[in-house]
Amino acid sequence: MIRTFVLASLFSVMPVLAGGTYFTPDQIQKEVYNEVLPSSGTLWITPERRSEAEALLGKNLMQARIRYKYSDGRYLWTLSEIGKEKPITFAVVTTPDRIERIEVMVFREVRGDEIRLPQYTAQYQGLSLTEDGQLSGHVDGISGATYSVRTMQKIAKLALLLQRWASEEHASAT
């Protein structure tokens, strides 16, 4: 009886460990581009871009540049953002002004990793960025994963904004 109480007490105070690495950069690149070797790009964050991104995200954007992969109008962004306490790393595939796919690559938080499930990520497919900086469709939340859900929504918005800038740069270069 005492041993059962002690074990139950230990399990109630031990943190639940969620998360892990779900995709490496090479794995996601191979899935997105098959055997095609995509080009690499660097998007420099000018003061004007920084202001626009910060207004969209509601927080400071610290990067001076963001690297990406692209081929045939498809962009692959690897972006990290703090969830509740730790960074979550995402892969976002965008096509002209739409999200094609979003995946959790690395989840480091204690809870909220349900956002990695295909049933959840499928909601983002086809969404775009509206003129007022919102996603074009409703995204359901997950009870107990509020910070993770908000973080994924921020990353989705940022990827769409970055894709717009990268497309503009590519169009002006041709």
pLDDT value at position 174?
Answer: 67
pLDDT value at position 36?
Answer: 85
Average confidence (pLDDT) over 31-58: 93
pLDDT at 155 over 90: yes
47 phi and psi, to 5 degrees? Answer: -55, -40
pLDDT value at position 150?
Answer: 95
Q: What is the full DSSP assignment across 71-119?
A: ETTEEEEEEEEE-SSSEEEEEEEEETTEEEEEEEEEE-SSS-GGGGSHH
Q: What count of other Cβ atoms lies within 10 Å of the Cβ of residue 42?
A: 11
Average confidence (pLDDT) over 156-160: 98
pLDDT at 91 over 90: yes
Confidence of residue 171 (pLDDT cuts 50, 70, 90): confident
Q: What count of other Cβ atoms lies within 10 Å of the Cβ of residue 86?
A: 13
Q: Which of these ranges, 1-15, 29-43, 122-136, 149-163, has the smallest mean pLDDT?
A: 1-15
pLDDT value at position 129?
Answer: 96
pTM over 0.85? The answer is: yes
- As given in the structure block, the two tokens for residue 124 are 């983002």
In the three-class reduction of DSSP (H, G, I as helix; E, B as strand; rest coil), residue 39 is classed as: strand
Average confidence (pLDDT) over 132-150: 94
- As given in the structure block, the two tokens for residue 107 are 């989840």
Average confidence (pLDDT) over 122-144: 95
pLDDT value at position 14?
Answer: 39
- As given in the structure block, the two tokens for residue 157 are 């918005």
